[in-house]
Structure 1
Amino acid sequence: MHILIVDDDEKICAMLELFFNKYNYQTQIVHSGEDAIELLRTSVGDFDVVILDIHMQGICGIETCKRIRTFSDIPILMLTSSQEDINTIIALEVGADDYMIKPFNPMILYSRIKNIIKRSHKQTQILTNKKLISYTFGDCILDTSTQTLKYNSEMIPITTGVYRVLKYFLENPGIILSRDNLMEQTQNRSLENFDRSIDIQISRLRKILKDIGFSDAIKTIHGSGYMWTLPVHQKNS
């Protein structure tokens, strides 16, 4: 596995490089968003995952992630030293696959890196499967071959995280899905204490659905989880 580390903190970079090298993982370090974007544009296929710090001089991690997503779906895990939810929300909205708050346990970071790569490989296998599925609800179509959502033939922008959550709801209409279950199925990891990433994704999805007239699509079942309430039709390609 080849990891691109993007952080202007040289101590953090050195620590991560030493840690991952113990597991025989290749690492490459750059200290700015500009350098990361330039490197990935020319050699994105050389890397399996990006570890990207939010707070950097020059182009911040949020903007760097946003620009990377214009040309690549490479898995991205973001690091932040802030406890504020807004940073997490923005990171996930611009396309980050996961995040960790500094200081962190390197073993937990290692586990999360493996999980997002595993998810990425699963998604690649799905996209190469001949029996791709589209899901229709109302005037909306979720196309799994392109991971896109359309409303009345108009493209609705959604992040990778929101796509996964919506797809899992559409696969299980009328079924109560717990937060633990949603986390495991859409992020391939267990729900941790104070982890609000799944709630953030659902909140973002609800806003998208509300904007196109489906404010009641996801029902909160207090003490149990969430349930998709609209009829869903599946079509195999």
Structure 2
Amino acid sequence: MHTILLIDDDIGLTHLLSEYLCQQNYQVEVANTPELGLQMLKKNDYDALLLDVMMPSIDGFEALRQLRQFSSIPVIMLTAKGDDYDKILGLELGADDYLPKPFNHRELLARIKALLRRTQSQSSFVKNKLLRLHGIEIDEASHSASVDGHELVLTGTEFSMLVHLLKQAGQLLSKEQLSSLVLGRKLAPFDRSLDMHMSNVRKKLAEQGINDVIKTIRGSGYMMVAERE
């Protein structure tokens, strides 16, 4: 049974969501403050985190910023306004997905299933499989990445994206393909999630001195170059 942590100060909503997800065979733990949630995340292992944005004391963005300093747990942000700025900021800070409130419980369930499915597929049936290119090395078995021996800290979604790009280096991956492979859903109009995750991957590679290895094919998708120019 998968265990999910829900951080939200809305006690009524957390009760309803917990009840619904428990009926769907998930174990749910709740923190009504981000401070308590961060403490729980340091002490316990969870399969996924549902994190509200609008909370007193510190908001969900600051909680996510602190979380990413010690954990790569898959995160779905619950954004009250559905504002593009909120979505983009959450993805930049390392969220794997977002869902604007109010949302349909079945939509949330579908997002959770897709996220957990991706996480499981990355760790299942992989034995000592190494991918190497441009100084980048990925060990799928241990779910770790490095550049010239230096650790590359990636979220689960970023890791999945880089794996697929490396496996198909020199080939175009359309946005539709990547959305299905990495986000577990069809590409929706005006959804910038994929672009933001790609931006994060590029930024983290650039910090390690790896630039211009992921090409944008305008109107089509992305490609990891097989040989650097």
Q: Pick the TM interval, shorter chain.
A: 0.7 to 0.9
TM-score with structure 1 setting the length: 0.82
- Correspondence for 1:54: 53
Tell me if 1:4 matches 2:5.
Answer: yes
Q: Deviations over 1:28-80 (max 9, x none)?
A: 22211111122232332xx4322111221123222323333444443221111
* Matched AA of 2:201: L
How many residues are aligned here?
A: 226
CA contact (8 A) 2:74 2:155 kept: no
Considering only aligned residues, what root-mean-square deviation do their CA atoms show, in Å? 2.5
* Matched AA of 2:131: S
In structure 2, the CA distance between the partners of 1:225 and 1:27, relative to structure 1 (3 Å rule), is: same
**How much does 1:25 deviate?**
3.2
Aligned-partner Cα distance in 2 for 1:143–1:125: 13
Q: Deviations over 1:200-226 (max 9, x none)?
A: 112223334455555432222233222
CA contact (8 A) 2:74 2:115 kept: yes
Choose 75-84 or 175-184, whichever is displaced more: 75-84
Aligned-partner Cα distance in 1 for 2:216–2:17: 40
Tell me if 1:206 matches 2:202.
Answer: yes
Aligned-partner Cα distance in 2 for 1:85–1:147: 31
TM alignment of 1:99-118, pairs within 5 A: 99-118=98-117
Tell me if 1:35 matches 2:31.
Answer: no
1:134 to 98, 117, 131: 131
- Correspondence for 1:158: 154
TM-score with structure 2 setting the length: 0.84
Aligned-partner Cα distance in 1 for 2:210–2:11: 47
- Correspondence for 2:123: 124
Partner SS for 1:100 = strand
In structure 2, the CA distance between the partners of 1:20 and 1:69, relative to structure 1 (3 Å rule), is: same
Aligned-partner Cα distance in 2 for 1:171–1:177: 11
CA contact (8 A) 1:92 1:159 kept: no
Q: Which residues of structure 1 form unaligned runs of 5+?
A: 233-237
